[in-house]
Amino acid sequence: MTASSEHIVHEIEPVFDRHSRVLILGTMPSPKSREEGFFYGHPRNRFWTVLASLFHEPVPATNQRKRDLLLRHGIALWDVLASCDIEGASDASIKNAKPNDLTRITSAAPIEAVFCTGAKSAELYRRYCESQTGIPAVQLPSTSPANAAMDTETLTAAYQVILDHLEAPRHVALHVPEVVALEQAIAADGTSLAELMDRAGGFLAFYTHTLHPEGRIAVLCGTGNNGGDGWVAAGWLAEAGHDVVLITPRSADELRAEPAKSAAQKLMQALPESCRILIAPEADAVAAELKAADVIIDAILGTGFSGDSVKEPFARWIEEACACRESGTAVIAADCPSGYSAETGKAASPCIKADETVTMITSKVGLERPWAFTYCGNVTVAPIAYTRPYLDETQPDEPEEQPADAPAPGKPDEQFRRPENEDDDGYDPYSDRPATPEPLFQQDPWN
Ligand SMILES: NC(=O)C1=CN([C@@H]2O[C@H](COP(=O)(O)OP(=O)(O)OC[C@H]3O[C@@H](n4cnc5c(N)ncnc54)[C@H](OP(=O)(O)O)[C@@H]3O)[C@@H](O)[C@H]2O)[C@@H](O)CC1
Ligand SMILES: [K+]
């Protein structure tokens, strides 16, 4: 051991489970990663930026979110070495290397490909581990600041190869009480409801910003936890450079639902300059703000809504948002369009018609109804938690094909309200919505 090198023992547990298909290996955690207690912890290391970019997700900000991202996508993560002598984070200085026992992962998970994040880990893997696992490694470029000459776009392109070995995410549609039970189970296992809401608002903002990188955003917030998603998203979008106005019937302190109240209070404590909060504004002021917006986020009502009609002031807000959408403003719904039942798929009066719906954690049965597109637009599941361990063996892989209470042909459900100018397929030929895609209608329902 040289004077400036130290003996390091790897103390970060590997990430994997029985669904991991790809194993990514570095050499040894850097001093910063050891301090953070997780892999690739240096703020200038681009590993997490590259992975987030591969999966079109926000960059995970905490160790728990990083772990979650890996498991959701079937990626196992560890390092080649169990211990070595090393100078700082310099792979070139490594001496007295002892490898990790990678069969701990390969015997428990169907690993079909191994990737090494840099030349040194690939070299050490070939020397010590390949005979153990029987899987040759693919060498990827290092994401470390030492490889700054390679830009992040090129790095991401190189890492695309990982995707060939991963499964597409499964979309399970749950009933609303099942979604609530799922969130409670995840919270009981250590990912709090506040954390889930923070992730929900983050994904909502990320997808909004991806679709509309510039422009003014109006966030309509209800008083329940759907509103909480809106409060989180508003802060995120203001930080990302948007002019944001958040419209709420109650101040943060007057909200009662948790974790929405805490999320709103957190935003108020560090309110970005470009985020204005309007509390119980007059209807005319709401209309003016919505008209001035390029994008409206609907975080008024989510899975907690039921009934045939929406109470004021939300009914008026919804009507104004729909009118703005007719004039070209984009509408993005948080979890489900306000006034639309995520359980039955029934639209109340009035009901938001969204271009996009960012639904949290998993799809819901109401969003899978054949007519859902009319109200929800494109539905994207925001994967705010790793749900597979909770859903395996208890849930079907596919949503039911023919919902039992779908209106029978020729016998329209009297309670199912739809605007006059919609045709029989639930498509409004006079709206500004593009005619395609309508994937649900491409299937032959009689097959
Ligand atoms: N749980 C979590 O941790 C997470 C939850 N998440 C999010 O929470 C959402 C579910 O939140 P939730 O259960 O609070 O219900 P929510 O959809 O906000 O509605 C309740 C509000 O609606 C109101 N209201 C009801 N009927 C009405 C009517 N007819 N007309 C008018 N208003 C009516 C009712 O008002 P009240 O009648 O009580 O005055 C109450 O204020 C879910 O969709 C997801 O977005 C995610 O962030 C993940 C983490
Ligand atoms: K909503």
Chain segment 129-153, per-residue pLDDT in tens = 999 999 999 999 999 998 999 999 9
pLDDT per position as a tens digit, 14-27: 999 999 999 999 99
Question: What is the pLDDT confidence band of residue 90, given thresholds at 50, 70 and 90?
Answer: confident
In a domain, 69, yes or no: yes
**CA-to-CA distance for 245 and 247, rounded, in angstroms?**
6
Domain end marker among 165, 187, 214:
165
Question: What is the pLDDT confidence band of residue 431, given thresholds at 50, 70 and 90?
Answer: low
Say what the pLDDT of residue 94 is: 84
Please determine, for residue 413, whether its predicted confidence score (pLDDT) is greater than 80. no
In a domain, 158, yes or no: yes
3-state secondary structure string across 373-423: HHHHCEEEEECCCCCHHHHCCCCCCCCCCCCCCCCECCECCCCCCCCCCCC
Examine the domain organization and report whether 151 and 262 are in the same domain. Answer: no
Q: What residue owns the CA closest to ligand 1's atom 2? A: 193
pLDDT per position as a tens digit, 324-362: 999 999 999 999 999 999 999 999 999 999 999 999 999
Examine the domain organization and report whether 320 and 363 are in the same domain. Answer: yes
Please determine, for residue 408, whether its predicted confidence score (pLDDT) is greater than 80. no
Say what the pLDDT of residue 399 is: 38
In a domain, 161, yes or no: yes
The ligand 1 atom at the shortest distance from the C-alpha of residue 314 is: 31
For 76-90, b/e burial (b = at least 16 CB within 10 A) is bbbbbbbbbebbebe
Average pLDDT value for residue range 250-267: 98
Domain end marker among 165, 194, 214:
165
SS3 293: coil
Q: From ligand 2's centre to the CA of 49, what distance in Å?
A: 29
Examine the domain organization and report whether 286 and 355 are in the same domain. Answer: yes
pLDDT per position as a tens digit, 215-236: 999 999 999 999 999 999 999 9
Q: What residue owns the CA closest to ligand 1's atom 25? A: 305
Cβ-based neighbours of 283, under 8 Å, separated by 6 or more: 313, 316, 320
| Number of domains composing the chain | 2
Average pLDDT value for residue range 390-419: 49
Examine the domain organization and report whether 159 and 195 are in the same domain. Answer: no
In a domain, 1, yes or no: no
In a domain, 263, yes or no: yes
Please determine, for residue 436, whether its predicted confidence score (pLDDT) is greater than 50. no
- Degrees (nearest 5) of the Cα angle 53, 234, 245? 135
Q: From ligand 1's centre to the CA of 341, what distance in Å?
A: 12
Is 80 within 8 Å of 27 (Cβ atoms)? yes
Examine the domain organization and report whether 203 and 299 are in the same domain. Answer: yes
Average pLDDT value for residue range 370-394: 92
Please determine, for residue 415, whether its predicted confidence score (pLDDT) is greater than 60. no
Q: What residue owns the CA closest to ligand 1's atom 1? A: 193
Please determine, for residue 250, whether its predicted confidence score (pLDDT) is greater than 70. yes
Q: Which ligand is nearest to the CA of 366?
A: 1
Q: Is the peptide bond before 437 cis (omega within 30 degrees of 0)?
A: yes
**CA-to-CA distance for 222 and 250, rounded, in angstroms?**
9
Q: From ligand 1's centre to the CA of 383, what distance in Å?
A: 19
Examine the domain organization and report whether 138 and 217 are in the same domain. Answer: no
In a domain, 447, yes or no: no
Q: From ligand 2's centre to the CA of 301, what distance in Å?
A: 5
**CA-to-CA distance for 98 and 419, rounded, in angstroms?**
69
In sign, the C-alpha dihedral spanning 369, 372, 373, 378 is negative
Mean pLDDT of the chain: 90
Question: What is the pLDDT confidence band of residue 401, given thresholds at 50, 70 and 90?
Answer: very low
Q: What residue owns the CA closest to ligand 1's atom 16? A: 304
Q: What residue owns the CA closest to ligand 1's atom 34? A: 224
Q: From ligand 2's centre to the CA of 254, what distance in Å?
A: 20
* CATH code: domain of residue 98: 3.40.470.10
For 410-423, b/e burial (b = at least 16 CB within 10 A) is eeeeeebebeeeee
Q: Which of 378, 345, 245, 243 minimizes the C-alpha distance to 299?
A: 245
Examine the domain organization and report whether 332 and 218 are in the same domain. Answer: yes
Say what the pLDDT of residue 422 is: 55
Question: What is the pLDDT confidence band of residue 425, given thresholds at 50, 70 and 90?
Answer: low
Please determine, for residue 410, whether its predicted confidence score (pLDDT) is greater than 50. no
User: Which parts are annotated binding residues for K(+)?
Assistant: 226, 298, 338
Examine the domain organization and report whether 60 and 177 are in the same domain. Answer: no
Please determine, for residue 428, whether its predicted confidence score (pLDDT) is greater than 60. no
Q: From ligand 2's centre to the CA of 232, what distance in Å?
A: 14
Average pLDDT value for residue range 97-113: 96
Q: From ligand 2's centre to the CA of 119, what distance in Å?
A: 48
Please determine, for residue 441, whether its predicted confidence score (pLDDT) is greater than 80. no
Examine the domain organization and report whether 381 and 282 are in the same domain. Answer: yes
Is 295 within 8 Å of 330 (Cβ atoms)? yes
Average pLDDT value for residue range 26-36: 92
In a domain, 252, yes or no: yes
Say what the pLDDT of residue 393 is: 58
User: Which parts are annotated binding residues?
Assistant: 225-229, 298, 302-308, 335, 338
pLDDT per position as a tens digit, 277-299: 999 999 999 999 999 999 999 99
Examine the domain organization and report whether 92 and 154 are in the same domain. Answer: yes
pLDDT: is 196 or 391 the higher one? 196
Q: What is the ipTM of this complex?
A: 0.97
Ligand 1 pocket at CB < 6 A: 183, 193, 196-197, 200, 222-229, 257, 259, 301-305, 307, 310-311, 314, 334-335, 360
Please determine, for residue 403, whether its predicted confidence score (pLDDT) is greater than 60. no
Q: From ligand 2's centre to the CA of 73, what distance in Å?
A: 27
* CATH code: domain of residue 430: 3.40.50.10260
Q: Helices 283-292 & 314-326, crossing angle to 10 degrees?
A: 30
Domain end marker among 165, 189, 216:
165
192 token code pair: 């709090």
pLDDT per position as a tens digit, 62-80: 999 999 999 999 999 999 9
Examine the domain organization and report whether 138 and 187 are in the same domain. Answer: no
In a domain, 34, yes or no: yes
The ligand 1 atom at the shortest distance from the C-alpha of residue 259 is: 3
Say what the pLDDT of residue 446 is: 57
Say what the pLDDT of residue 168 is: 86
Question: What is the pLDDT confidence band of residue 158, given thresholds at 50, 70 and 90?
Answer: very high
**CA-to-CA distance for 393 and 378, rounded, in angstroms?**
28
Share of the chain above pLDDT 70, in %: 87
- What are the angstrom distances between the C-alpha of 121 and each of 90, 91, 116, 118? 12, 8, 6, 6
The ligand 1 atom at the shortest distance from the C-alpha of residue 228 is: 47
The ligand 1 atom at the shortest distance from the C-alpha of residue 200 is: 47
The ligand 1 atom at the shortest distance from the C-alpha of residue 384 is: 48
Q: What residue owns the CA closest to ligand 1's atom 47? A: 197
Question: What is the pLDDT confidence band of residue 402, given thresholds at 50, 70 and 90?
Answer: very low
Say what the pLDDT of residue 400 is: 41
User: Which parts are annotated binding residues for (6S)-NADPHX?
Assistant: 225-229, 302-308, 335
Pocket test residue of 176, 192, 262, 303 for ligand 1, highest count of atoms within 8 A of CB: 303
Which structural domain, as residue segments, surrounds residue 427?
173-442
Examine the domain organization and report whether 413 and 291 are in the same domain. Answer: yes
pLDDT: is 447 or 225 the higher one? 225
Say which residue the tokens 């703020």 belong to. Answer: 43
